[in-house]
Amino acid sequence: MTGSPHVHVGNTSVAAVMAKVMAALIPGTIAHAWFFGPGIWVSLLLCGLFALVLEALLLRLRGLPLKPFLGDGSVLLTAWLLALSLPTLAPWWLYLIGTLFAVVVAKHLYGGLGQNLFNPAMVGYAALIIGFPAYMTLWPGPIGAVDHSLTLWEAFDLVFAGQGAVSHDAVTAATALDTWRTQTRLGTPVDDILTRPMFGWIGARGHEIVAAMYLLGGLLLLSARVITWHIPVAFLAGIVLTSGALHLIDPAAHADPLFHLFSGAAMLGAFFIATDPVTAASTPRGKLIYAGLAGFLVVVIRTWGAYPDGVAFAVLLMNACVPFIDDYTHPRVFGHKRASKP
């Protein structure tokens, strides 16, 4: 027996939500392919394939129906986000391990869709960067910064055979975030660092355009009401305020906020990763706290941490705080004097 309501808004479903998010990722992904070569198509394909197979396997093992869960698109989105955050020219098994951690460990071992505490894509990323740091530097350089622009077949070769007509060295390059960190620690003058080929107009060359496309996609999500403004705004504000303060204190050691926003995964994180509803805070105030602190952690990890980017660890750390944050930020219920912690 089911009671009221007898109608449903109709145009929404988990699959529709996921599809909208994936659609919003398209501009950024195309820009990624444009600037960093076709390797992204290979890694996307691999992650997507592995994810679907692992999801199907796990659903079967757990005795759950395949169709509604494979059809909801959530695992594809996870794979997509993972592929976008991984270097694109790593060996194929790296994508398998990353997807394994994302889908099996982070998602299904926690109970599947809606039950996971940590963002699956970020768990996959974190597992790889801890386990295989060397392979995680195999980022292709942006066009203009490396001598050789890769073809799709060369990318396949690199991923599956490890080498081919071109070697990794010819097409990969240190990222701007990495360069900034190592060079400032070596005491290289800022002006000198910024002239290096991996730096662009305001952020990292290539990455800044990709980030702008993520921003565009994020704005589309906002206008489609798939996400609310709280998390992206607080996340970016956390980055800007923290990096701005550091930059004011010591411009020679700390990059300006624009560089932070338009390099690495800041925009991807703000609109697509921190906003994952399952693992993000859900109350309006909670979202602000959660994302603001995540933004703060991004800059802290980028500045003092050992890892190339801070988005994954910042988001994962804040994921762990979500139940606590949510519990203390319940909004005031209509007719109650004040918000009360239950």
Mark out the alpha helices in 62-149 (DSSP H runs): 66-71, 74-85, 92-99, 120-131
Is residue 56 near other proteins by the rule CB under 8 A?
A: no
Stretch that binds other proteins, among 130-138, 181-189, 249-257, 326-334 (CB under 8 A): 326-334
Among 12, 151, 167, 182, the residue binding other proteins under the rule CB under 8 A is 12
Q: In the range 31-50, which residues lie near other proteins by CB under 8 A?
A: none
Is residue 323 near other proteins by the rule CB under 8 A?
A: no
Is residue 69 near other proteins by the rule CB under 8 A?
A: yes
Among 148, 168, 196, 330, the residue binding other proteins under the rule CB under 8 A is 330
Is residue 144 near other proteins by the rule CB under 8 A?
A: no
Look up tokens 């939500």; give the residue. Answer: 17
Count of alpha carbons within 13 angstroms of residue 9, beta-carbon side: 4
Which CB atom, from 255 or from 294, has the smaller least distance to other proteins?
Answer: 294
Quote the DSSP letter at residue 137: G
Is residue 223 near other proteins by the rule CB under 8 A?
A: no
Question: How many residues make up the chain in this entry?
Answer: 342
Provide the minimum distance between the beta carbon of 6 and other proteins in the complex, in angstroms, as a whole number: 4
Token representation of residue 223: 């206008």
Is residue 185 near other proteins by the rule CB under 8 A?
A: no
Is residue 309 near other proteins by the rule CB under 8 A?
A: no
Stretch that binds other proteins, among 43-51, 92-100, 108-116, 236-244 (CB under 8 A): 108-116
Greatest CA separation for the chain: 72
| Of 52, 49, 42, nearest in space to 86 by CA | 42
Q: How many CB atoms are located within 10 Å of the residue 219 CB?
A: 13
CA dihedral (236, 240, 243, 245) in degrees, to 10, reads: -140
Which CB atom, from 179 or from 283, has the smaller least distance to other proteins?
Answer: 283
Is residue 285 near other proteins by the rule CB under 8 A?
A: no
Decide: 275 and 233 in contact? Cβ < 8 Å: no
Angle, vertex CA 20, rays to CA 14 and CA 23, nearest 5: 140
CA distance 39 to 149: 11
Angle, vertex CA 252, rays to CA 214 and CA 305, nearest 5: 60
Which CB atom, from 127 or from 278, has the smaller least distance to other proteins?
Answer: 278
Stretch that binds other proteins, among 141-149, 161-169, 253-261, 328-336 (CB under 8 A): 328-336
Quote the DSSP letter at residue 194: H
Quote the DSSP letter at residue 251: T
Is residue 6 near other proteins by the rule CB under 8 A?
A: yes
Provide the minimum distance between the beta carbon of 11 and other proteins in the complex, in angstroms, as a whole number: 10
Among 112, 164, 197, 305, the residue binding other proteins under the rule CB under 8 A is 112
Residues forming the site for other proteins (CB under 8 A):
1-9, 12-14, 16-17, 63-65, 68-69, 72, 74, 112-115, 228, 277-278, 280, 282-283, 326, 330-336, 342
